[in-house]
Structure formats: C-alpha cells, structure tokens
C-alpha cells in the first residue's frame, strides 16, 4: 500500500488556536491552551497515524517581536519547525485577523517564500462568525499575497473543517514510510508534558505578568510499580515579590494550583500521582541565556 508520511508545521500569531488545532488533529490533549497569548513556548510534537498516512504536527510559539532572550529562543522554534516541515499551516483568527501585511510582515513573507514549501492558510474560529460567508472577503485579501496553495476555514474547538484540512494536508504529504510506531502520539517525554500542564494552570489561574514570568522545572519524577508516582516540580519566578503571589495567603493559591494540575497530570499519565510544588526565584531568568538553556530552551 502507498504510504505517506511527513511533517506539518502549525505557525501564526499568538492566540489564534494553533495548540487547540494540534490537539484536535491528534485527538488527544498534548499542547497546552489558554485564553492568553504566548502560552506555547517550545515546539510541541503530535503524531496522527492512519492506515495510509502518518502526519507529524509541530505546534509552535506564536510569532512575536522578541523583547526577551526567551522570545528569541521561542522564535527559533518557529524557524526550526518551518525548516523541518514538509507542509506549513499558517493560521489566522477570523475575528482578530488584520490586513495580511500586518500579520505577514516582509520578514515573515521572505521566510515563507524561501522555503518553497506548500503553504496552507488555516482560517480558525469560524464558529464566532455570524455567517460562514464572512470568511470569503478574508480569503480574498489573503489570496492577493499569492503565498498560499489552499484556504481552509475551520473551528478547532468545534472540530469543524478538520477532515477537510486533513485531506488538504494529505494532498501535499510526501510518499514515505512511517517514521514512528503506530501507537506513538508524541516524541516528547512525560516530564515535558507534566511541566506544561503545570504551566498551563499558571496561565489560567494568575494574571498580568505572572504567567509570563514563570517557568516550571521537574526536579524529581519517580515512577513506582505500586502506588502513586512522585513528582516534585519547581515553579520559577523572576522577582522576590512574585513568590508570595504564587503562594497566596497561607499557601491557598498554590494548593489550588497543585490540585487542578494533579488531576490533569493523572488523566494524562493514566496514573495517580503525588505532586509537590515549590517556588524558587531566579532573577530575570527570561533574559539569562544559560538559565534558559538549563530550562531546556
Ligand atoms: N471560539 C473559538 N475559540 C478558539 C478556537 N480555537 C482556539 N480557541 C481559543 O483561543 C484561545 C487560544 O488558543 P490556543 O490554542 O492556546 O492558541 P495558540 O495559537 O496556541 O496560542 P499561543 O500558544 O499563545 O501562540 C483559547 O482560549 C482557545 O480556547 C475556535 O475554533 N473557536
Ligand atoms: Mg499555543
């Protein structure tokens, strides 16, 4: 049987729904999602295997102008994904979308053009439009850029247009043998996903600078034959003043965060866990290259 296999990079501005789409395409929650921009910081891999194809999706951080060393590394992940990809899904949000020129700056246009790879415009959040017809003028404005091979309106949350999108990707997917075993959903390890799930709660439960100033490090990850697994994680903050905010009065907020995170971690691992959280200050870690390296960036 003819088999197809390849990499599909999902790129675009922050908050357009790239991670939601990755999860929809793989059918499991792998990539963390929040209503705040810049949730994704690294490349997240999700694999979908069907009888005749294997698509390896690469979720990436939203494209931004770097203000910190952290942002520079995040944008490197976008570049790597573009380089690795066989197909590039460029995603926009049909509600907050702007003129193509504002989203696809000259620098981005150059980058996309120079790859020579098929570019698919994915128009997300159509469930928020009063009428699906309203995507047509948006498609028209993007068609003028002459960058895209196809235009696919979807709703990643309502799972609308996903089959259509898969068909389009399949059309451009190279003929090749599968790279991974059929049951593989990701190439990243459990430590990564556990840290991400904790970070997701920081994005959902805290406000203003806190989600952006925090990082999560898994210190211990003990898998036990019998009984609960033991996970010890550090929440890293940038300033001394942020530590009491994370903890909350009498440690109530971090306790709540731990409970919510633990439930998600248990669902992800299919395993009961004992989760211990500590808060540590690492001054200005977002601008510290060696610290970023230590955090796995
Ligand atoms: N109504 C609606 N909301 C959506 C849809 N897709 C995603 N969202 C919401 O948009 C927000 C951002 O989604 P994410 O998947 O985190 O977006 P992202 O592009 O990965 O964002 P970054 O990682 O910050 O770049 C979340 O609140 C999602 O629930 C959709 O199809 N319709
Ligand atoms: Mg994301």
Can you list the domains of the chain with their CATH numbers?
4-172 (3.40.50.300), 190-294 (3.30.300.20)
Probe residue for ligand 1, chosen from 17, 43, 70, 159 as the CB with the greatest number of ligand atoms within 8 Å: 17
Query: Cα(180)–Cα(133) distance, rounded to whole angstroms?
Result: 40
Which long-range contacts (C-beta less than 8 Å, at least 24 apart) are formed by 93-96?
93/13, 93/15, 93/16, 93/17, 93/124, 93/125, 94/123, 94/124, 94/125, 94/126, 94/128, 94/129, 94/134, 94/135, 94/138, 94/153, 95/125, 95/128, 95/129, 96/15, 96/16
Question: Confidence band (pLDDT; 50, 70, 90) for 154?
Answer: very high
Instruction: Give residue-wise pLDDT tens across range 210-269.
Output: 999 999 999 999 999 999 999 999 999 999 999 999 999 999 999 999 999 999 999 999
Token duo for residue 218: 């898994």
pLDDT at 54: 98
69-84 vs 106-115: helix crossing angle, rounded to 10: 30
E-strand stretches of 193-292: 215-222, 229-237, 273-281
Percentage of the chain modeled with pLDDT above 70: 100
SS3 content of the chain, % helix, strand, coil (to 5): 40, 25, 35
Model pLDDT, residue 10? 98
- pLDDT mean over 32-61: 98
Compute the C-alpha angle 22/26/29, nearest 5°. 70
pLDDT band at 97 (very low <50, low <70, confident <90, very high): confident
The pLDDT confidence band at residue 166, using thresholds 50, 70 and 90, is very high
What does R_g of the chain's alpha carbons equal in angstroms? Answer: 20
CA of 284 to the centre of ligand 2 (A): 23
Q: What is the pLDDT of residue 276?
A: 98
Label residue 98 by pLDDT band (50, 70, 90). Answer: confident
In whole angstroms, what is the distance from residue 164 CA to residue 183 CA? 23
Joined tokens for residue 125: 């959040």
Looking at residue 265, its pLDDT comes to 98
Distance 124 CA to ligand 1 centre (A): 9
State the DSSP H helix or E strand holding residue 244, giving kind and residue range, or none if neither. helix 242-247
DSSP 17-81: SHHHHHHHHHTS--S---SSSS---S-EEEEEE-SSEEEEEEE-PPP----SHHHHHHHHHHHHH
Q: Please compute the mean of the pLDDT values over residues 96-122 and round it to a whole number.
A: 93
pLDDT reported for residue 253 = 98
pLDDT band at 48 (very low <50, low <70, confident <90, very high): very high
Probe residue for ligand 1, chosen from 20, 156, 200 as the CB with the greatest number of ligand atoms within 8 Å:
20
Nearest ligand 1 atom, CA 16: 19
Query: Whose alpha carbon is nearest atom 32 of ligand 1?
Result: 125
| Cα separations in angstroms, 169 against 109, 119, 120, 268 | 21, 10, 8, 28
Count how many residues are written for the chain.
297
Asked if 237 and 281 touch (Cβ cutoff 8 Å), the reply is yes
Distance CA 241, CA 281 (A): 9
pLDDT, mean of residues 44-55: 98
What pTM was estimated for this model as a whole? 0.97
Residue 218: strand, helix, or coil: strand
């Amino acid at each position: 049987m003819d088999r197809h296999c390849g990499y599909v990079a999902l790129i675009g501005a922050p908050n357009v729904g790239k991670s939601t789409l990755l999860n929809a395409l793989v059918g499991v929650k792998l990539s963390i999602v929040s209503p705040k921009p810049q949730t994704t910081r690294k490349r997240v891999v999700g694999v979908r295997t069907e009888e005749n194809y294997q698509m390896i999706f690469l979720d990436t951080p939203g494209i931004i102008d770097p203000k910190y060393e952290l942002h520079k590394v995040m944008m490197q992940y976008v570049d790597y994904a573009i380089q690795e990809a066989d197909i590039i899904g460029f995603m926009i949000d049909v509600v907050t979308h702007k003129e193509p020129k504002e989203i696809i700056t000259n620098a981005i246009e150059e980058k996309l053009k120079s790859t020579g790879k098929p570019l698919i415009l994915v128009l997300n959040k159509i469930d928020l439009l009063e009428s699906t017809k309203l995507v047509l003028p948006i498609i028209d404005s993007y068609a003028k850029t002459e960058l895209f091979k196809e235009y696919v309106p979807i709703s990643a949350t309502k799972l609308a247009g996903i089959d259509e999108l898969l068909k389009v990707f399949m059309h451009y997917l190279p003929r090749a043998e599968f790279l991974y075993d059929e049951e593989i959903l990701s190439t990243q390890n459990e430590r990564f996903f556990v840290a991400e799930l904790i970070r997701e709660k920081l994005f959902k439960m805290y406000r203003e600078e806190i989600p952006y100033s925090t990082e999560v490090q898994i210190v211990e990850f003990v898998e036990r034959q019998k009984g609960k697994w033991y996970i010890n994680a550090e929440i890293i903050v940038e300033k001394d003043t942020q530590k009491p905010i994370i903890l909350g009065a009498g440690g109530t907020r971090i306790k709540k965060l731990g409970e919510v995170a633990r439930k998600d971690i248990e669902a992800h691992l299919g395993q009961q866990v004992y989760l211990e959280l500590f808060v540590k200050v690492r001054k200005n870690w977002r601008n510290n290259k060696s610290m970023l390296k230590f955090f796995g960036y």
